[in-house]
Amino acid sequence: MVKVLILAYDFPPYVSVGGLRPYGWFKYFHQFDIYPIVITRQWSNQYGNYLDYIAPGESNSDIIEETSQGTIIRTPYFPNLANRLMLKYGDSKYRLVRKSISAFYEFAQFIVPIGPKSQLYKSADRYLSSHKVDMIIATGDPFVLFNYAKKLSHKYHIPWIADYRDPWSQKTDIQNNFLLKKWNMFFEKKIVSDAHSVTTVSEFLKASIQSNVQHHNIQIIKNGYDPEAMEAAKEISQRNDVLGIALAGSIYDWHPLKKVLTIFSELIKIDSDVKFEINFYGINIYSKHIQCNINELISSEFPDLKEFIKVHSKIPNDRLLKELAKQNIMLLFNDYSILGTKIFDYIGLHRNILFCFENDEETESLRSKYFTLQESKSLNQKLQIDAIHETDSGYIIRDGIHLLEKLKELNLEFKQYGFIKSYAIHTDQYSRMHQVEQLASLIKTISLQKK
């Protein structure tokens, strides 16, 4: 059996999309004769919001969990001074001090293993000093884990894989800071060039990586839906009291939320008997640009929709899937060359997707203003549309007029049947099991080459 050590900062029970990728490896590697050892941090989830990311762990020493699937080593988390000030005084006090401390660690962590994240390196080093593994995988963000993987690889003569879930030096906040940009570009090129292989989730990210790192072996291992959690959710029937519309995850500045809400507002003016409910799961901030709370947005600009909208806090993915399964329609915004992650759960649930928008002037204006990620013209700008067409998983909405027409149709269908029929096909290709199989094949190939 091939043994793989995985450095994964985000990992359950922490509620994040990023943690689902390494969790899928942990769950399914054993089916391909691979034994995973996950090095992650302790997550207490005591706050239920962004403060969980900087809250101390539950123990001052490693917590080790051994299962038939693999081993999880949860390292202590010791907040630095900036974290402690934030936890004690909140976001409004000592901002300059906190930013200065955070900046120090942001730069210094690539020179020496210091700071809260360094416990992962220390625990991995202790484990490898007395255990043999065949491969190391580091999944980022945070990308300092790549640096740890490189150091461990050299020390113990083990090949390593750099797995990108997001851009590194190409991230907008890094690109907007000259010093931070140059620093990260230097270390990204230096560290990732040393990896045996690079994996990432899409062609968009592959192009982003190649803009700074000329690596000979970059492979696409997509995200996907959890087949076990999906099977449990499939037992749940659609609601039949009102037409339930759901959106899970982040809403970005280029997403036409206001346009969509305006159309729903028009719908209730046209048909006073219409019954629907829009559910937002796991997101409360509508816009990072204007720091607008969704509930505040509804109260100030769409008071007529207040009784039709519910905002839910973050919940673990298996519970989220069950909540989504109760709804009739999944709302999805256009992310162009980015496929994203939520679309996989939508497709796996066999709930029709309402994709907004394919060709809408206001949406294109938002894209021009806020979609700051660098897209190559050679990249497919319609990945989401292609996936929906390929699986027959929903409706591609052209613009606001088309959305209003489709909502009227869906309302009539719901009134007649009490649910919305799905015709989804060929969805298994988007299972995490399928993606884990591809990664397992890569690992075994590298392992055989090493021998």
pLDDT at 285: 64
Taking the chain (451 residues) in consecutive chunks of 10 residues, what is each chunk's mean pLDDT? 97 91 96 97 86 92 96 96 93 92 93 94 98 97 97 97 94 87 95 96 91 92 91 91 94 93 95 92 68 83 95 88 96 91 94 96 91 71 94 97 97 95 93 94 88 60
pLDDT at 374: 64
CA–CA distances in Å: residue 395 to residues 35, 60, 275, 376, 392: 41, 51, 20, 26, 9
SS3 at position 116: coil
User: Is residue 124 within 8 Å of 39, Cβ to Cβ?
Assistant: yes
DSSP string, 155-193: HHT--EEEEESS-STTSHHHHTSHHHHHHHHHHHHHHHT
Please tell me the distance from the alpha carbon of residue 366 to that of residue 96, in angstroms, as a whole number: 32
pLDDT at 282: 80
User: Domains of the chain by range and CATH?
Assistant: 2-224+432-450 (3.40.50.2000), 227-428 (3.40.50.2000)
Pick the closest to residue 345 from 371, 360, 362, 325 (CA basis): 325
pLDDT at 126: 98
Please tell me the distance from the alpha carbon of residue 300 to that of residue 235, in angstroms, as a whole number: 39
User: Is residue 139 within 8 Å of 180, Cβ to Cβ?
Assistant: no
SS3 at position 32: helix
pLDDT at 375: 62
Q: For 174-303, where are the E strands, in sequence order?
A: 197-200, 218-220, 243-248, 276-281, 285-287, 292-293
Residue with tokens 């007395």: 130
pLDDT at 237: 94
CA–CA distances in Å: residue 289 to residues 40, 139, 370: 32, 28, 9
pLDDT at 288: 60
pTM as predicted: 0.88
From the number of C-beta atoms within 10 Å of its C-beta (0-12, 13-18, 19+), residue 116 rates as buried
User: Is residue 59 within 8 Å of 41, Cβ to Cβ?
Assistant: no
Q: End-to-end alpha-carbon separation of the chain, Å? A: 14
Residue with tokens 């062609």: 203
pLDDT at 340: 85
